Amino acid sequence: MKDNLRSFIRKVILEVSRNYHTIDPSPITFQSFSDYDIEISPSQENFIVTIEFKGKLIYGPAKFLDYEEANNNARRIVDSHRVSIMNSSR
């Protein structure tokens, strides 16, 4: 009887402590947030960034020389805006 109880408890503990893997193991980035619409559009010699939050324009249009610079700036704006929204008492 004791062995059956120990075996059962061991199985339960192993089941609870099992490492569950996520379905999508890719990292969550600033582009994953559903309320933000980030648009980085190439133009003739630069990239134009516009960012909307819940349909309301919060940034842009702003011009950047390359995609990496535009993408980094968009990340900074979204991160800053998210922090301000989380800290507000709305």
The C-alpha atoms of residue 30 and residue 38 are separated, in whole angstroms, by: 9
Question: Are the CB atoms for 58 and 51 separated by under 8 Å?
Answer: yes
Sheet strands side by side (includes 36-42):
36-42, 47-53, 56-64
Reported as a single tens digit per residue, the pLDDT across 34-70 is 889 999 999 989 999 999 999 899 998 999 999 999 9
Reported as a single tens digit per residue, the pLDDT across 17-37 is 555 556 666 777 777 778 899
Domains of the chain (ranges, CATH numbers): 32-90 (3.30.160)
